Amino acid sequence: MRPRSTVRLSIVESSAREPERAAAPARGARWALVENQILTDATRLFAERGFAATTIKDIAEATGLTRSALYHYFANKEALLGRLVSDLTLAPAAELATLAGLPERSAAERLHAMAFDTALRHATQPERFRVLVNSDGELPPGLAKSYRAGRRRILAEFIAVIEQGVANGELRTDDARTSALGIIGMCTWVAWWYHPQGSGDERETATALADMAIASLCVDGRPAVAQSPARALQLVKQNVAYLEATLAPGSPNSDTGG
């Protein structure tokens, strides 16, 4: 059993002593802090033991809570999965719908923003996404329906923007659905392989994946998104580095290779 954190206990004991008075106003930063800790510890246990083998008692002990205090935040472990579905599927679907509908941006710019958002979410909360995917078959019927509806909505938003880009000549593909699935797969797979090396790496990784997503569909093979001078210079440097690697002695594409 992990030792209980003094900080966690002080937060929880104070919350547990408070009556139901002013429950909504009380759910501020402190409430969010405890909820997030519960979700973090529950996710770790689900990943280690599986959802079915993890009990509420296990989660309470890992978080440093009594079971009665834990019930103050989540009624049961199914409610924890429900929160993951909401945070990781339904909320992203709503955000992607907002990005997809930005009227002042081109289809390529909107698609870039959507790919970036998807990759960044998976890079910053990888374990939660992995647990949700691995628990798909254990979701109660109602949660499973919401989860799959959220995923279908995410796919639909990507398809719609790609189709708009094809229609106005910005993008090219023979199958918008397949292209959308490919982009989503590339951006979500980051949850399985990404390991940050320093502060800000998540955004750099998400940007690189979004760039690749757009470049794969742009008519001229380059991202058709508005670039700042700094971003444009970064892309030039990347292209120069690629060219140098291609022309280096021994490269299959160099005149001296082989």
pLDDT digits (tens, 9 = 90+) for 106-139: 999 999 999 999 999 999 999 999 999 988 888 8
Better-predicted residue by pLDDT, 81 or 257: 81
Cβ neighbours of residue 82 under 8 Å, at least 6 residues apart? 143
For 185, the token pair is 């797969």
Does 94 have pLDDT greater than 70? yes
Q: What is the pLDDT of residue 105?
A: 93
Give the integer Cα–Cα distance in Å for 231 and 203.
13
- Model pTM score: 0.72
Does 229 have pLDDT greater than 80? no
Instruction: Grade residue 164 by pLDDT with cuts at 50, 70 and 90.
Output: very high
Instruction: Grade residue 250 by pLDDT with cuts at 50, 70 and 90.
Output: low
Residue type, 257: G
Q: Which residues pair with 171 in a beta bridge?
A: 218
- What backbone torsions phi and psi does residue 220 show, to the nearest 5 degrees? -95, 5
Give the integer Cα–Cα distance in Å for 161 and 252.
38
Helix (H, G, I), strand (E, B) or coil at 227: coil
Please identify which residue in the block is written with the tokens 């790919």.
Answer: 115
User: What are the structural domains of the chain?
Assistant: 6-71 (1.10.10), 77-226 (1.10.357.10), 229-258 (no CATH)
Does 4 have pLDDT greater than 70? no
Does 254 have pLDDT greater than 50? no
Please identify which residue in the block is written with the tokens 């009556």.
Answer: 19
Q: Which residues pair with 218 in a beta bridge?
A: 171
Instruction: Grade residue 241 by pLDDT with cuts at 50, 70 and 90.
Output: low
Q: Are the C-beta atoms of 136 and 144 separated by less than 8 Å?
A: yes
Lowest mean pLDDT: which of 3-12, 41-50, 80-89, 140-149? 3-12
What confidence tens digit (pLDDT) does each residue in 182-224 have?
A: 999 999 999 999 987 766 689 999 999 999 999 999 865 554 4
What confidence tens digit (pLDDT) does each residue in 15-69 have?
A: 333 333 334 335 678 888 999 999 999 999 998 888 889 999 999 999 999 999 9
Q: What is the pLDDT of residue 235?
A: 52
